[in-house]
Amino acid sequence: LTLNEQEPASGFRHQYPFKHLLTPRTILVTQALAWFHTNGEHFGQNLVALLGAAERGMSAAPSYQVRMRASKGGGLFRPSAKWQQQVVVMSTSFSHFKCNIETARGEIKPSKGPKPGQHDYPLLNRVGENISKRFGVTFLDITSALQSRSDGHMPHDCGHWCLPGPYDLGAQLLYNAFVGHIDAPVSSLPQDPMRHGTGGGGGRSWSRSKAFGGKSVG
């Protein structure tokens, strides 16, 4: 990506190796990854670049695909007119003091700072939410709920946050957004036989779900 800035502290580059695979059938879920960002500027540049790549890859099919489908009698490819409905940005959880791979082992007693040496996750979340609104994609706030729990930051081996536990909240919110229980762009996904399914709202499909009320999470 042209805006792929290197993090000054970690040296990490957000290369997004999957960006060439983004198509009108993609559902993209990303997050404000605090452990890879040391300031809001670099995170903002990378998120804007990723959403720009999503818009290019998910809003239209390459011309050669259009020609091949038409030549085979399949009709013109109809790209998604609402790529924003297929993109979700989640907030990050709060990190512990001097969060890194080495300090993520063993028992953790997180500080909800930020303090010197700790990632400014409130700043990153604000940047992520503002950019999401600018692009019109869904932003889901998992931070607020996690902060209200004593185990909202995994007390043991937090580097393995993908294990079952409090972070499952993210998957639960995502599901509820898909089926329309949360008023968000992703709840208005266009009908697609390949993605047609029922949710927890009495057998409603994604394409016909209506929000039950309330504001978007985040």
pLDDT digits (tens, 9 = 90+) for 31-77: 887 666 667 887 888 888 889 989 999 986 554 444 444 455 544 44
pLDDT digits (tens, 9 = 90+) for 94-124: 777 666 667 777 777 766 667 776 778 888 8
pLDDT of residue 190: 64
139 within a domain of the structure (yes/no): yes
Alpha carbon 212 to chain centroid distance? 22
Show the domain range for 162. Answer: 24-188
60 within a domain of the structure (yes/no): yes
Q: How many folded domains does the chain comprise?
A: 1
pLDDT of residue 137: 95
Cβ atoms 92, 145 nearer than 8 A = no
203 within a domain of the structure (yes/no): no
34 within a domain of the structure (yes/no): yes
175 within a domain of the structure (yes/no): yes
The model scores a pTM over 0.75: no
pLDDT digits (tens, 9 = 90+) for 165-216: 888 888 999 999 999 999 999 998 865 544 444 333 333 333 333 333 333 3
pLDDT of residue 138: 96
Distance (Å, whole) CA 117 – CA 95:
11
Give whole-number Cα distances, 128 to 51, 83, 125, 143, in Å.
Answer: 11, 18, 5, 12
12 within a domain of the structure (yes/no): no
9 within a domain of the structure (yes/no): no
- Strands 138-140 and 28-31 come out as unpaired
The dihedral through the CA atoms of 129, 133, 215, 185 has a sign that is negative
DSSP code of residue 109: -
33 within a domain of the structure (yes/no): yes
pLDDT of residue 202: 33
127 pLDDT band, cuts 50/70/90, is very high
Residue 164 sits in a domain whose CATH number is 3.40.50
Q: 205 or 146: which carries more pLDDT confidence?
A: 146
pLDDT digits (tens, 9 = 90+) for 4-15: 556 566 566 666
pLDDT at 79 over 90: no
pLDDT of residue 184: 92
Amino acid of residue 143: T
